[in-house]
Amino acid sequence: MKKRSFVLFVLLFLVASLTACAPPAVPTAAPTAAPTQPPASNGGQELLLATTTSTQDSGLLEYLLPMFEKETGVKVNVVAVGSGQALKLGEEGNADVLLVHSPASEDKFMEAGHGVRREDVMYNDFVILGPKSDPAGIKGMTSAKEAFAKLAETQSTFVSRGDDSGTNAKEKAIWKAAAIEPKGDWYVSAGQGMGAVLNMANEQQAYTLSDRATYLARSKQGLDLVIVVEGDKALFNPYGVIAINPNKGPHIKADLATQFIDWLISVPVQEKIQQFGMADFGQSLFTPDSQPWRQAKGASGG
């Protein structure tokens, strides 16, 4: 327990240090009233959530977590890193629950017994961004792998996450599909989260791959990049929530992880996810996709 407390302190300190100079989070409309359920008697308890940077950089966590904390009395401590790093934290028993977007890695994680429950939560999509001048000439292309091939051919500057995140995994899969190993001065591996990479690409007027939600949120802060390629099925971006195996140690808050998952996939909270972004962008930044949501929509004919 002392080891985990120390690890949590160090992680939170590092995340705070890395984000200290980042642009302020995009303002979001004040959340509407939480679902009418009696608060659970969990006052004073804390849950450690390891999650991808896109859920933080998009503003989704700032929007959702206060509702959960108000309803349950459970404080959620967040470590926002790449999906690969979040899964590693879970494997080492340094998180109670994960919210990530790297399906192949999530499957391996569950098969290895590191998690005891995984649920679909939501999805959005990835988009290829670039400068308005589009020097590579890929704007309007409908194939992500063909667009990547053109970027390599023209050696147009591309900023990669390079951080073993879900976004980085998707990027690697597209390069593999294009039968290209990107290398050279034109290919910049940043080793940073999505927000930092968008800032770098913006400064260099370069291309990059981003989840749509983070891109839209940052576009409100003066980002000068535009979507040049979108709509390919290969750019689909699903998110899952995972409860860590309590066998990792007595410090794992299995009951709170289960409570958080049940709350996150419930129909009222899925409706909140569907509303997120509507006021600022006229569209949802994430599409709800939990099993209870799908069942409810199927039953209602939606």
Looking at the structure, tell me whether residues 116 and 247 fall in a common domain. Answer: yes
- Same domain assignment for residues 118 and 131: no
| CATH label of the domain that carries residue 216 | 3.40.190.10
Domain co-membership, 222 together with 264: no
Q: Please check whether residue 19 lies inside any domain of the structure.
A: no
Tally of domains in the chain: 2
pLDDT in tens, 105-156: 999 999 999 999 999 999 999 999 999 999 999 999 999 999 999 999 999 9
Is the distance from CB of 28 to CB of 57 less than 8 angstroms?
Answer: no
**One domain, residues 290 and 180:** no
Q: Does residue 21 form part of some domain?
A: no
Q: How many degrees, rounded to 5, is the angle at CA 178 between CA 172 and CA 179?
A: 90
- State whether 34 and 85 are in the same domain: yes
For residue 255, what are the domain limits?
2-11+29-124+238-300
pTM (2 decimals)?
A: 0.81
Q: What tokens does 197 get?
A: 């990479």
Query: Looking at the structure, do residues 212 and 142 belong to the same domain, yes or no?
Result: yes
Q: Two tokens at 29? A: 């409309």
- Same domain for 136 and 68, yes or no, is no
One domain, residues 291 and 159: no
Cβ neighbours of residue 215 under 8 Å, at least 6 residues apart? 127, 129, 198, 223, 225, 227
Q: How far apart are CA 97 and CA 95, in angstroms?
A: 6
Cβ pair 214, 6 in contact under 8 A: no
Same domain, yes or no, for 287 and 220? no
Beta partners for residue 49, in sequence order: 78, 97
Is 36's pLDDT higher than 50?
Answer: no
Rounded to whole angstroms, the Cα distance separating 234 from 171 reads 10
Q: Are 251 and 161 in contact (CB under 8 A)?
A: no
Residue 288's SS3 state is strand
Q: Are residues 133 and 229 in the same domain?
A: yes
Q: What is the pLDDT of residues 214-259, one digit of tens each?
A: 999 998 888 999 999 999 999 999 999 999 999 999 999 999 999 9
Residue 20 within any structural domain of the chain: no
Q: What is the pLDDT of residues 46-92, one digit of tens each?
A: 999 999 999 999 999 999 999 999 999 999 999 999 999 999 999 99
Token couple for 20: 């200290």
- Mark whether 130 and 158 lie in a shared domain: yes
Q: Give the span between the Cα atoms of 164 and 198, in whole angstroms.
A: 17
